[in-house]
Amino acid sequence: MGNETNREFDDVTYEEKQTHEEVSQKTSEGEGSEEELKQEEQHQEEVDSAEESQDSEVKQLELKLEEATNRMLRIQADYDNFRRRTKQEKESAAKYKSQSLAEKLLPALDNFERGMAITPQEEETKSLLKGMDMVYRQIKNALEEEGISEIDAVGQPFDPHYHQAVMQVETDDYGSNIVVEEMQKGYQLKDRVIRPAMVKVNA
- Cα separation of 153 and 182, whole Å? 6
CA-nearest of 92, 114, 96, 89 to 187 is 96
Residues 6+ apart with CB under 8 A from 147: 98, 189, 190
Residues 6+ apart with CB under 8 A from 41: none
pLDDT band for 6, please (50, 70, 90 cuts): very low
The tens digit of pLDDT for each residue in 143-160 reads 999 899 999 999 999 999
Give the domain 96-202 fold.
Nucleotide Exchange Factor Grpe; Chain A, domain 2 (2.30.22)
Helix extents (H) in the chain: 2-95, 99-116, 123-145
The tens digit of pLDDT for each residue in 58-92 reads 888 888 888 888 988 898 888 888 888 888 888 77
pLDDT band for 199, please (50, 70, 90 cuts): very high
The one-character DSSP state at 96 is T
